Amino acid sequence: MTEQTSPMSAERYAESLYAQDEMLSRVEEGIRANGMPEISIAAGYGRLLTLLVKLSGAKRVLEIGALGGYSGICLARGLEEQGKLVSLELKPDFAEVARRHLTEAGFGDRVEYRIGEALDSLDVLEQEGARFDFYFIDADKGNYVNYLERAIRLANPGAIIVGDNALMHGRVVDPAVTSNSVQVMRRFNQMMATDPRLESTLLPAYDGLCIARVKG
């Protein structure tokens, strides 16, 4: 019988180069054990978040959408000693799981969870005069453009803005799909690409990742 060989995907090849990350595997197990959706950021983009936080020297990071803390750990790993992560999450039970995982990973004292609608939390942060050096946008897609506007408003010069799921599993590039969330994501990608306040790129691997820098 002839052996069937098929090329592995570029993403699988990239993942095969890295040792299993024990802490992040525990987070994935915790997410499954708690019956939460398995929609954490792709491992390769998690590593990119760590690198971007480190390379940018960001001290104040804002995450929109905590889930079980997978991306939170990736962001926190990039922070310097005095750095801080603020994470916005709608569901108190999800934030509790995320907090537990961040604490297990040694970042319990670096993270603050704010529970509720992210737009409401952003209002409060704005009233408090909060400013951020780094954003990771990864919650309800229908609000991505609103989150981007808020992020720019609360940004220190040179801040980095990252948005996950820019391709929405191919739906964004399919003209037949006209759902609200897909249309908002198209507007988000367009704004990241053309807004004069930003310089950016869109990485089309995994589910697509948009990265911008707020001009100083």
Ligand X SMILES: C[S@@+](CC[C@H](N)C(=O)[O-])C[C@H]1O[C@@H](n2cnc3c(N)ncnc32)[C@H](O)[C@@H]1O
DSSP 90: S
Give the nearest distance from C-beta 89 to ligand X in angstroms: 5
- Find residue 136's DSSP bridge partners: 63, 162
Give the nearer residue to ligand X in terms of CB position, either 133 or 138: 138
Give the span between the Cα atoms of 156 and 1, in whole angstroms: 62
Give the nearer residue to ligand X in terms of CB position, either 94 or 144: 94
Task: Please count the helices (runs of H) and the strands (runs of E) in the chain.
Answer: 8, 7
Element (DSSP H or E) covering residue 25? helix 22-33
Give the nearest distance from C-beta 67 to ligand X in angstroms: 4
Give the nearer residue to ligand X in terms of CB position, either 139 or 192: 139
Give the nearer residue to ligand X in terms of CB position, either 41 or 168: 41
- At 158, list the tokens: 């040179």
Binding site for ligand X (CB under 6 A): 39-41, 65-67, 70-71, 88-91, 94, 117-118, 138-140
DSSP 2: P
Give the nearest distance from C-beta 93 to ligand X in angstroms: 9
Give the nearest distance from C-beta 107 to ligand X in angstroms: 13
